[in-house]
Structures are given as C-alpha cells and as structure tokens.
Amino acid sequence: MGIDRPLRKAVPNQPNELVLSPDSSHGRPSSESANLDVLRSIAVLLVFVFHYFDIRGLAGRLWGFAWHAGRLGVLIFFVHTCLVLMWSLERTDHPGEHVFIPFYVRRAMRIYPLSMAFVLFAYIFDTRWIPPHLWQSLTLTEYFLFKGPGPRFPPLVVPLWSLPLEVEMYLMLPLLYFLLRNRPIFYTVMMWAVSVVFAIKLSDLGQRYVILLYVPCFLGGVLAWRLIRKRDYRRLPGWTWPIAIGVVSATWFASIPATYELSIALFGVCLGLVIPLFREIRSSKVRLAAKLVARYSYGIYLSHFPIMIYILGDSYWPNRAFRYIPRMPQIVHYARPIDLILVTGLTAGASVLLYHGIEKPGIQLGRRLAERLARPNRARVLMLAE
C-alpha cells in the first residue's frame, strides 16, 4: 500500500517515498506506507488503552473521554481498512482475471482463522458463554442471525463486535471499486452524502441494520482512495501527520448522543480527506515501531481483552471468568505497574505467536487460493489477446 496515486516508482535512496509514474493509465499501489502504519497503530493502541482503563474501573462514564477514545480506534480501523482494500482490489484487477471471488477468499483467510480461534477459546474457557451464539460468532454474522433482543458476543472476546460490520462491508467493496474507479469523485461524495441520510433516518431500524450507521465512515476510506488515485496531493510534511489525526479526531470527541450518527460520518470523511495531503514520515524509529505494531495489530486487537480479564479481572468480575485455568495469583506490592507490564508483555508475545502461527499462514494460503481462482480460462486469454 502507499500514499500516492496508483502507479508509483520508488525514488532511489528514499525508501517508501513514492513518485508518480507517467507511463501508465492504470497503475497499482505496491509499496508500504509508514503513514498508514502509524494510523493503524494509533487505532489499536486506543482500543488497548481504553479497555485497560475500563477493566480497571477508571474509564469514567459513557460518552466520556475514555469511551470516545476507544470508539475512535474502531472508527479509524474502518477508514483505514476501506482504503487499504480498495488498493488491494486495484492491485489484483488484471485484464481477463476474476476479481470478486479471489478478493473474498483473501479476506476470509485473513479474518476468519484468528477470529475463529478466539471464539473457540471463549467457547471452551469462558464461564459466561452464551450457548446459542456459537455459529453466529464463528461466522461473524451476529448482526444478521442474532436471536433475542440483540446480538451477543462472547464476553472474553468483546472486541469481536466490530468484525461482523467489516465483513458486511467487504461484501460491497468490489462493487464500489468497479462503480467508482473511473467516475468523477463527485459520485463518491454523493454516495457518502446519501449514506449519511440513511444513517440518520434509518438508525432506529434495529441492530440487524446497524451497518448503515457506519457506512459513511467506511466511505471515508473510499474517498481517500479516489483522491489518491486522481493526483498527488501531498504537500504537508510527514511529521505533522500524527498532529492531523488528533485534529481530525476532535470531530468525534465533540459528539453527543444527539449527533452520534453525524459525528461518525464527519470523522470518516474528514480523515479520508486529509490522508492524501501528507508526505511519508521519515523517522526510521517511528517507521519501524509503527510497522511492527501494525503488523501484529489484529492479534493485539483480539488477544488483549482476555489477557486483561485474566490479569486484572478479579475486581471487575468478582465471579470466576475462566474455567479450567487457575486464577491469577494476587500481587500485593506494586500491583498496578506489575499488572501493566504483564498485560503489555503477554499481549505483545501472544500477538507475535498468533501472527506467525495462525494469521500469516492463513494470509499465505488465501493468497495462493486467490491467485488460482483469479486465473482465467485459456480461451478467454486468447480472446483478450486478439
């Protein structure tokens, strides 16, 4: 991925700083972006910090600063994911090759192996597991197939609530790609505006249609993709990128219940508008740190919550949270700093093991399957060649 137009060539001696390629009308992003690594790292760390304070009982009230910060991390994920996946579709859109099924296969093998592992972990060890919801949790279809008053998620893997929304949006992204790739940006803006109306007017339809609330946020990533595809807008220095994220986040922190839907939409579109404006961050230390956190972010996102419940959960959940696993021994002296070190260290270690043991093999298998499914039949290749 990269922060630039679709076709790029690397500038000698300037890794990851990209320039436009003038010799193609349909290029594909190929290099990584430190700016997007920073964005993804901020997102997962916001969720991590919020849950830490929440389990500690220090997060404060609903709609407070900490709650906004935790939800902000999820909204950033939505924008980031849409932008990256539109680039993914563009990279794999070769003449005569299939796009839809290979895209869905890659996404399924990227998301499901690790999420299913955590659902099965909760199924075995969570003392508060809700039996009827195993299938919905395994397939990430809680909002489609829930029973009762609303969707329920395994208590040990509460962060799963956002993944079904991403899966629902994945179904639409190839359609959006083919619909918007060669049309003026005006069409993308109008689609965002219509989605805002739907989010506001139809927000009371119930949990089954909660995806409508977040579509404007997802479309912020689509808008960033279209802007980057149009031309090189980068004028601002990379070191100001984190500052810009903070400034844009003010549109979300200012939200109140009465403006909830509009605040989600405004944050998504504002973030999508500013992403193309910044040159790449040059600090090698920042780039490396952001790259590592971004690489293991999915494992961090899913593993940190059960680890926190185990280390910190005695005061938060007085009843036993895990079956078959001994309770965490009580730490008498310097408990809070030791707990923080344990939570951070175990989450980091678990995310690395999960990435190399489950996530990366799934990605590699998905890539091989997608490449095989994308190949057209020989007759079609000959026809296109003619």
CB atoms within 10 A of CB 28: 17
List all residues 6 or more positions away from 166 whose beta carbon is below 8 Å from its beta carbon: 77, 78, 81, 111
Query: For residue 342, what are its two tokens?
Result: 């344990």
Do 78 and 331 meet the contact criterion of CB atoms below 8 Å apart? no
- 120 pLDDT more than 60: yes
Query: For residue 221, what are its two tokens?
Result: 């990533």
List all residues 6 or more positions away from 347 whose beta carbon is below 8 Å from its beta carbon: 48, 300, 303, 304, 307
- 15 pLDDT more than 80: no
pLDDT at 154: 74
- 250 pLDDT more than 50: yes
Query: For residue 60, what are its two tokens?
Result: 């404060």
Q: What is the pLDDT of residues 262-298, one digit of tens each?
A: 999 999 999 999 999 999 999 999 999 999 999 999 9
pLDDT at 158: 85
Question: Residue 44: which pLDDT band, with cuts at 50, 70 and 90?
Answer: very high
Please compute Rg for the chain using Cα positions: 22
CA distance 77 to 79: 6
Do 269 and 127 meet the contact criterion of CB atoms below 8 Å apart? no
CA distance 17 to 156: 41
Residue 150 φ then ψ, to 5°: 180, 170
- 318 pLDDT more than 70: no
- 7 pLDDT more than 60: no
CA angle 283, 287, 289 (to 5 degrees): 120
- 247 pLDDT more than 80: yes
Full DSSP string of 331-344 = P-SSHHHHHHHHHH
The domains of the chain are located at 34-385
**Among 114-118, 283-287, 289-293, 379-383, the least confident range:** 379-383
pLDDT at 132: 63
